[in-house]
Structure 1
Amino acid sequence: MAQVTKHALITGASRGIGRGIAVALAESGIHIAIHYYQNEAAAKETLAQVRKRGSDGLLVQADVLNPEHITAAFRKVKSEFRTLDVFVSNARPEAPTFFQPPLDITLKQWDTAFDSQAKAFLVGAREALPLMSDGGRIFAITYAQGSRTGGLQPWVGMGSAKAALESLVRYLAVACAKRGITVNAVSPGWTEDSVLNSLPDQVQRLIRDWHVRGWTPMRRLGTPK
């Protein structure tokens, strides 16, 4: 019997955690739709790494703040792959678009954070489900500390958006359970080659210092692998 090729779509797969997930899935032979927003060169590098693992894939450009872009991305995936087995929602905007304390953040910045997380995930999951057979997998990437602490005040927009995203995961998990499709949140801490890179230099130094001083047992940032 011929082996059936599985397919995955990963948003924000041009670098960091998204790239790490793409490469890991490629090692299992899964073909990857690599989503990116602006950095096509980085997305092509992810595709090259996928192919080095003996798999294949395609590039999908979209602004996840725009539901029509998300729909168009899934339309391309359907045209090329026909089916989808895994959907990973990982994309997020650069920190300057939302990084303000609660008394200063504008409604536009607030909306940017929420639209890129809970709203984009809702639209993406709805688009993914018709392409999935029973037993598919849906994941949302959150941040462990982002929605639970209030110490890093300028993180309020993204922290609140991640909390909403985690709540949505629970509701979708129940909604999809009858088809055997699991919906889960993966909640890493601060990670190299992630949103950390777009934070102000002094904030980056503070976060790195927290880790060195023992904020986590390994005394270092996480890595995408």
Structure 2
Amino acid sequence: MGPPKAAQSASADEARERLAAIGEIAAEVAHELRNALQIISANAFLAKQDLANSATHLTRIERNARLAHGIVDDLMALARGEPAHAEPVLLVEVLVAARENLPEPPPSWNDRVQPASIRIRAHHGLMTRLFHVLYENAIAASAPRAATIETRAWAEEHGVIIEVADDGPGIPAEIAESIFEPLVTARQGGTGLGLALARRVVAAHGGTLSLVAPPPGATGATFRVELPS
């Protein structure tokens, strides 16, 4: 006698959800890899055209090749449901790494990390990817104008709070509650996968990612990351 139909249905639903999650992550991998490959291709072309400065271009190619490998390793581990291998890392180092290879135009940065020595227990690669997504979205929201992005961080008794705020138009009220769902996006041309993946990264660290409700009449968007000690 086989399992009850209800159990079979629940199992099928879980399988479909897992396949959907893997598909979402695969799409995000493709997006991230495309960015790295575009930089590699551009610098390969420049290296051939400008032999005197080829070392600079080759260094960028090497860095982005490593980035591509890291993207595949980190996101595939997340797709398999593996727990994040956390270790103490300096938050400011993660934030600096997250600002590499961001789209144009370059933003103005306003950092308020108190104290600057704050450490978080995190997988460096995954956490870098998380903040890269938040910064990339902030830049895209303000384009073609250069964004001003403020990163605030402070330690509390049970963990660390990090907020990323921009001065763009903000998240429309009609999608604010569903902004972390796959395929929901506030900008034209967006995949709607970055924030869904970002929330999954934070959850893998035992934390939460949320959109902070703006004060009446305020503009911009603020995302809050809460990580346990």
Superposition TM-score, scaled by structure 2 size = 0.24
- Kindly name which structure, 1 or 2, has the bigger radius of gyration based on alpha carbons: 2
Asked which structure has the greater RCO (Cα within 8 Å, sep 6+), the reply is: 1
